[in-house]
């Protein structure tokens, strides 16, 4: 299927929803990101894959004696909590939004089914996807690449706390330089940790551009969609 030039997949990590806090959801930050998503949805079709690192990560649990499969189930539950919160906040911001989960939870929200998600997006709903891929041993970055491919998105917008991909961690190394553009192969070969290798590989196989940008400011998503502000573009070779 051809990519839909109006449709974008935004990956919002759990940490982005934490704001200045060390855990959980910061209401002001959730409100700001939701307002940004609602604004972006006025001119684009917006799917969101949300992480869960603000509440629980499977790897973190395995360090404290939680078995990996159980830890990953807990991690996916965390993403569903975030998806419910974010969809609610997008509705409060005035847009239509729905949370869908990859792990069926009929009493909590609707399950992800590609044709339904596709239709909801065409109807102008912001579709917030929780539960990652619905399987352990994956990350929500890989879920973002998977759903972007399934839903014919034009690109993945990978929201982070820095304005792109750097040669080194700019918070540690003042000499670090930001890449304007990279190929998926370069991102994988140079082990640029902004997304995991599985996510980059899936994006590469489906010729999906990835735009890495900072979600710290107001209307960051809307601005990056308009081509404003700093970002790194990961593009097919
Ligand atoms: N997870 C999973 N399968 C998936 C995606 C996520 O089991 O397809 C679990 C995994 O334990 C992960 C947690 O959910 O650590 C939260 O996701 P992630 O770490 O990607 O969140 P983020 O770093 O974006 O906040």
pLDDT for the residue 102: 98
Main-chain dihedrals φ then ψ at residue 64, nearest 5 degrees: -115, 30
148-175 tens-digit pLDDT: 999 999 999 999 999 999 998 888 999 9
Q: How far apart are the C-alpha atoms of 89 and 102, rounded to whole Å?
A: 20
User: From the CB of 103, is ligand 1 less than 6 Å away?
Assistant: no
- With a CB cutoff of 8 Å and minimum separation 6, the contacts of 230 are 163, 164, 178, 213, 214
Q: What CA dihedral angle connects 223, 226, 232 and 234, to 10 degrees?
A: 140
The alpha carbon of 160 and the centre of ligand 1 are apart by a number of angstroms equal to 15
Q: What ligand 1 atom has the least distance to the C-alpha of 140?
A: 20
Test site for ligand 1: of 11, 48, 54, 57, most ligand atoms within 8 A of the Cβ:
57
9, 146, 208 from 150: Cα distances, Å: 11, 6, 11
pTM of the predicted protein model: 0.97
Tokens standing for residue 89: 């906040």
pLDDT band at 47 (very low <50, low <70, confident <90, very high): very high
Å from CA of 175 to ligand 1 middle = 31
Interval between CA 14 and ligand 1 midpoint (Å)? 9
71 lines ligand 1 (CB under 6 A): yes
Examine the pLDDT at 61 and tell me if it is beyond 80: yes
- What does the pLDDT look like over 170-197, one tens digit per residue? 889 999 999 999 999 999 999 888 899 9
Q: State the helix-helix crossing angle for 197-205 and 140-150, rounded to 10 degrees.
A: 10
pLDDT at 49: 98
Measured from the CB, is residue 51 less than 6 Å from ligand 1? yes
Ligand 1 binding pocket includes 111 (Cβ within 6 Å):
no
Name the residue with the closest Cα to ligand 1, atom 23.
Answer: 53
% the chain with pLDDT above 90:
93
Dist CA 224 CA 45 (whole Å): 15
Cα–ligand 1 centroid distance for 2 (angstroms): 29
Average pLDDT, the chain: 96
Instruction: Please give the distance, rounded to the nearest whole angstrom, from the Cα atom of residue 174 to the centre of ligand 1.
Output: 30
For ligand 1, mutation pick of 101, 139, 159, 194 (most atoms within 8 Å of CB): 139
């Amino acid at each position: 299927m051809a990519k839909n030039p109006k449709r974008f997949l935004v990956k919002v990590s759990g940490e982005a929803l934490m704001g200045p806090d060390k855990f959980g959801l910061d209401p002001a930050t959730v409100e700001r990101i939701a307002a940004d998503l609602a604004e972006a949805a006025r001119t684009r079709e917006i799917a969101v894959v949300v992480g869960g690192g603000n509440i629980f990560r499977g790897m973190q649990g395995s360090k404290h004696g939680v078995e990996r499969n159980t830890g990953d189930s807990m991690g996916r539950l965390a993403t569903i909590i975030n998806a419910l919160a974010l969809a609610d906040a997008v509705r409060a911001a005035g847009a239509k939004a729905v949370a869908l989960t990859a792990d069926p939870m009929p009493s909590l929200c609707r399950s992800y089914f590609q044709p339904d998600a596709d239709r909801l997006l065409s109807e102008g709903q912001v579709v917030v996807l929780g539960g990652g891929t619905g399987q352990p041993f994956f990350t929500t970055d890989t879920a973002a690449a998977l759903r972007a491919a399934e839903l014919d998105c034009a690109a993945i917008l990978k929201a982070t706390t820095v304005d792109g991909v750097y040669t080194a961690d700019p918070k540690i190394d003042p000499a670090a330089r930001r890449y304007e553009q990279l190929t998926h192969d370069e991102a994988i070969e140079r082990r640029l940790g902004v997304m995991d290798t599985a996510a980059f590989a899936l994006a590469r196989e489906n010729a999906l551009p990835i735009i890495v940008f900072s979600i710290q400011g107001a209307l960051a998503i809307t601005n990056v969609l308009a081509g404003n502000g700093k970002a790194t573009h990961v593009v097919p070779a």
